[in-house]
Amino acid sequence: MDFKIRTFIGVEIAEKSRNQTGNFAKKLMDLDVDMKWEPVHKYHVTLKFLDEIPNEEVNDICVRVQRAVRDFPSFTLGLRGAGAFPNIEKPRNVWVGVHEGREEITELARRVDLAMQEVGFPRELKPFTPHVTLGRLRRATPGLADLSEKLAQYDNVDLGKSYIRHVTVFASHMARSGSSYTVLATCPLQ
Q: Which residues are catalytic?
A: 44, 131
Question: For residue 46, which of 132, 175, 155 has the smallest C-alpha distance?
Answer: 132
By the 10 Å C-beta count (0-12 exposed, 13-18 middle, 19+ buried), 100 is classed as: middle
Question: For residue 82, which of 24, 162, 158, 154 has the smallest C-alpha distance?
Answer: 154
Q: Hey, is 135 helix, strand or coil?
A: strand
Q: Hey, is 42 helix, strand or coil?
A: helix
Question: For residue 155, which of 91, 81, 68, 94 has the smallest C-alpha distance?
Answer: 81
* Gap between the Cα atoms of 123 and 126, Å rounded: 9
* Gap between the Cα atoms of 159 and 98, Å rounded: 10
> What backbone torsions phi and psi does residue 150 show, to the nearest 5 degrees?
-65, -40
